[in-house]
Amino acid sequence: MDGTLKENDLSGVVAADKAHVWHHLVSHKGFETTDPKIIVEGKGLRVWDQNGKEHLDAVSGAVWTVNVGYGRTRIADAIRDQLVQLNYFAGAMGSIPGARFAERLIEKMPGLSRVYYCNSGSEANEKAFKMVRQIAHKRYGGKKHKILYRDRDYHGTTIGCLSAGGQQERNAQYGPFAPGFVEVPHCLEYRAADQGWGDLSGEAYGQRAADAIEEVILREGPDTVGALCLEPVTAGGGVITPPQGYWERVQEICRKYDILLHIDEVVCGVGRTGNWFGYQNYGVKPDMVTMAKGVASGYAAIACLVTTDEVFDLFKTDADDPMDYFRDISTFGGCTAGPAAALENMAIIEEEGLLENTTAMGERLQENLRALAEKHAVIGDVRGAGLFCGAELVADRASKEPVSEALVKAVTGDCMAQGVIIGATNRSVPGYNNTLCFAPPLIASADDIDEITGAVDAALTRVFG
């Protein structure tokens, strides 16, 4: 496919963008000397820019969102049909796609039963934090209100979510933050030596990292801790997959101290790791799950907070206490395009066997990256789950000293020049940075995977020799 660029009026687009768009995640200084890339069109896992150049998108729309790939007319048609019928209604009233998608979603999440709609991952996490706080007020006189989060995890962009954010590089300059959020140590086995727990690996390390959570709970007082919020696989913090045994111990600790387990599936949810949800890889039973990106693959803005009946029932209003329910609304949680798109998105994943493909292609991606590590000493560690993989770059394998940010940019830039878009996580944090990140759409074929790693091979050779 060569795109339909000829039919697009691109005159003045770059100038308008340069003059008026404030882009995400970037300092605009660079645009004084280079033009921003305008992505004009997408099909499958390929996108075309303003110059007609084709790119293989190995990061699903920059931030791991377009799980079913670009150009799905079936989703667009479903959205259109729904919008002309009913585009919106919020509050206590429902919609057909809202009810149908909630039912389908819950089928995939045994043990959970209620879906609360909103429109971004940050918002879904805020809702969960609010529920924890309200439960503390309802049941524990406000005392059991603290929310634990993990070093290196990210839960969103609002001040509340940044208060639960374990990536210092994102938080710097945005404080002061909300009180009642407490950090627990990360679980990155590759850098276990930095944590002062001795020479641990595998399950023993996972147990130790989970025990460290219990230590924080005991230090804070279990009667003050309401919830633990974790990503199943830490995404932007460095693609961190926990070792065997970690999650079992985490679950045990939460049960022991009556602490709600909130899993942030904003990245891992809806297929990314080869299961519907990342937590399902580890047999965990969460009390609250939040999701966003892959729910409708970016065809519409939709996020969900899903809870158990136990949580939901706490918010049923007693007749004598009319203020006791969840006093929250999301205006755009009433947009029907989201659930209409999400229904089709889920159907596509099922009909095309994308969970199975994700597992198989994820294995291939990791194998290819491991083969590259044999050849390029700069690859210190390869990790991941399904089609979410990272390759950490180190200047020296023994010391694990990270390579410079400039060199990581040289690698991602070289891949971009070759027509393959890859990512890199947390480039500015000494000690944990410089992880190349791969999260192609779940439709990736073996050839696509080989094309991605082939580009990385060539880039590493050019940058590091």
Nearer to ligand PMP among residue 271 and residue 380 (C-beta): 271
Using the 8-state DSSP alphabet, how is residue 237 labeled? Answer: T
CA distances from 36 to 20, 51, 173, 390, 415 (A): 12, 11, 26, 26, 17
Main-chain dihedrals φ then ψ at residue 107, nearest 5 degrees: -60, -30
Backbone angles phi, psi at 290, to 5 degrees: -115, 145
Instruction: Tell me whether strands 114-118 and 54-57 are parallel, antiparallel or unpaired.
Output: unpaired
Closest contact distance (angstroms) between CB of 8 and ligand PMP is 28
Pick the stretch among 32-40, 52-60, 259-267, 349-357 that binds ligand PMP (CB under 6 A).
259-267
Of all residues in this chain, which one has the CB nearest to ligand PMP in the complex? 121
Q: Measure the CA dihedral 96/99/102/107, to 10°.
A: -100
311 contacts 260 by C-beta, under 8 angstroms: yes
Our finding on whether 157 is near ligand PMP (CB under 6 A) is: yes
Q: How many residues does the chain have?
A: 465
Residue 121 CB, shortest distance to ligand PMP, in Å, is 2
Q: How large is the angle between the packed helices 246-256 and 202-220, nearest 10 degrees?
A: 20
One of 55, 72, 155, 186 touching ligand PMP (CB under 6 A): 155
Which of 61, 97, 98, 121 is close enough to bind ligand PMP by CB under 6 A?
121
Q: Give CA–CA dist 62/45, Å, rounded.
A: 12
Among positions 154, 190, 277, 279, the unique one binding ligand PMP when judged by CB under 6 A = 154
Helix (H) or strand (E) holding 310: helix 309-313
To the nearest whole angstrom, how small is the minimum distance from the Cβ of residue 202 to ligand PMP? Answer: 25
The β-bridge partners of 234 are 240
Stretch that binds ligand PMP, among 100-108, 143-151, 229-237, 376-384 (CB under 6 A): 229-237
Other Cβ atoms less than 10 A from the Cβ of 351: the count is 9
Give the three-state DSSP class for 392.
Answer: strand
333 binds ligand PMP (CB under 6 A): no
Q: By CB under 6 A, which span of 18-26, 115-123, 314-322, 331-339 interacts with ligand PMP?
A: 115-123
Closest approach, Cβ 60 to ligand PMP, in A, equals: 12
Nearer to ligand PMP, 70 or 154 (CB): 154
Q: Which of 44, 206, 232, 236 binds ligand PMP (CB under 6 A)?
A: 236
Q: Which is nearer to ligand PMP, 263 or 354 (CB)?
A: 263
**Contact pick of 67, 82, 95, 120 for ligand PMP (by CB under 6 A):** 120
Minimum CB separation of residue 24 from ligand PMP in Å reads 9
Answer for the pair 156, 126: CB distance below 8 angstroms, yes or no.
Answer: yes
Nearest to 382 by CA among 425, 435, 428, 424: 435
Nearer to ligand PMP, 239 or 379 (CB): 239
Residue 425 sits in the site that holds ligand PMP (CB under 6 A) = no
Binding mask 39-78 for ligand PMP (x = CB under 6 A): ------------------------x---------------
* Shortest Cβ 450–ligand PMP spacing (Å): 27
Q: Does position 235 bind ligand PMP by CB under 6 A?
A: yes
Please give the torsion angle defined by the CA atoms of residues 390, 230, 24 and 458, in that order, rounded to the nearest 10 degrees: 0
- Ranges within 381-410 binding ligand PMP (CB under 6 A): none
Strand partners of residue 229:
149, 262
Nearer to ligand PMP, 230 or 372 (CB): 230
- CB-CB contact of 187 with 242 (8 Å): yes
Segment near ligand PMP (CB under 6 A); pick from 119-127, 181-189, 194-202, 401-409: 119-127
In DSSP notation, 131-153 reads: HHHHHHHHHHTT-S-EEEEETT-
**Residue 149 β-bridge partners:** 183, 229
Segments in 71-177 forming alpha helices (H): 73-85, 96-107, 121-140, 159-163, 168-171
Residue 179: asked if its preceding bond is cis (omega within 30°), the reply is no
Binding-site member from 148, 187, 291, 292 for ligand PMP (CB under 6 A): 292
Nearer to ligand PMP by C-beta: 58 or 460?
58
Q: Which is nearer to ligand PMP, 67 or 453 (CB)?
A: 67
Judge contact between 62 and 298, C-beta under 8 A. Answer: no
Interface with ligand PMP (CB under 6 A), residue from 156, 232, 338, 380:
156
Nearer to ligand PMP, 302 or 378 (CB): 302
**Beta carbon nearer to ligand PMP, 238 or 274:** 238
Residues within the interface to ligand PMP (CB under 6 A): 63, 120-122, 125, 154-157, 231, 235-236, 264, 266-267, 292
